[in-house]
Amino acid sequence: MSGRAGDFGTAAARLTGRAATAERPLSGTLAEVALDDGRVVMVKRGDGPGTVRAEAAGLRWLAGAGTVAVPRVHGEDERWLVTERVPAGRADAAAAERFGRELAALHTAGAPAFGAPPPGGPRDATIGPAPMRNEPGDDWPRWYAEHRVLPYLRRAVDDGTVRPAEAVVVERVCERLPALAGPPEPPARLHGDLWSGNVLWGADGRAWLIDPAAHGGHRETDLAMLRLFGCPHLERILAAYDEAAPLADGWRERVGLHQLFPLLVHAVLFGRGYAEQALAAARAALAG
């Protein structure tokens, strides 16, 4: 680590009440900071208004379930977030199976409604750098279409990433969601942005969840996102999950349906390649 503390160290000292002795930047918005009590903490600079509050509330809500390992929040303000540092380990079969069981328990902890924000979290939150509105609803197909799929589809059309004639395919999926969604499920407590980069494999043999976009949702959405970019020992995770909290028949055929949301978010953020994947997922959902 650097021998002196800069902006990240200053923020850590202010929010923890301990002097910062060194810092090591990991990116423009993230650094490790050593404190004078021997701890090393993670310090993150927020991307905009409400982002830190949403992330801190999400971490506390996930931790409150007492299931999956989540870094402790040491302090936050409108711009900075200080959390526990997770010593790195490796992904192995035992850790993956434990993660599957713990993720099932997290989802089962539930949420007040689909789209419900974490306690203390804002309705106007983010998923990565994209805006995400946590507007509660009691009917998952209608809520998923109105608050997760269509807002990003409209933005992608406005940006020229999806052509208006192509958007019809996704709109048709939204119209048919009540028939495509499978059996009704109660609202689950979701991480909300569960791609493999937000799963840290700790030295303690557990999987730790970071950077949530937490809200109440359908549990198959977290699992579909976990599959989207690949995850070590994914089939072991899913098998352990299904044993702990059996999934409804046909859940594998619904993976693409649940990936529509993150794919359209990525289309808005990163362009046409993800739009084509989203359109392919929509066509497959209709064909199925």
DSSP per residue, 203-218: TTS-EEE-S---EEE-
Give the pLDDT confidence score for residue 157 in this predicted structure.
Answer: 98
Burial 130-160 (b: 16+ CB within 10 A, else e): bebbbbbbeebbebbbbbbbbbbbebbbeee
The pTM for the full model equals 0.94
Return the pLDDT at 1. Answer: 56
Residues of the chain predicted below pLDDT 50: none
Helix boundaries (H) for 181-254: 219-228, 234-244
What pLDDT is recorded for position 49?
66
What pLDDT is attached to residue 64? 97
Residue 172 structure tokens: 């048709």
Active site residue 47: no
36, 139, 193, 242: which is the annotated catalytic residue? Answer: 193
Amino acid type, 6:
G
The predicted pLDDT at position 4 comes to: 58
> Residue 82: phi, psi to the nearest 5?
-115, 125
**Rounded CA separation 66/102 (Å):** 9
Please tell me the predicted confidence (pLDDT) of residue 5: 62
The answer to whether the CB of 103 falls within 8 A of the CB of 238 is no
Residue 102: what residue type? E
Structural domains of the chain in order of their starting residue, each with its CATH number: 7-84 (3.30.200.20), 93-287 (3.90.1200.10)
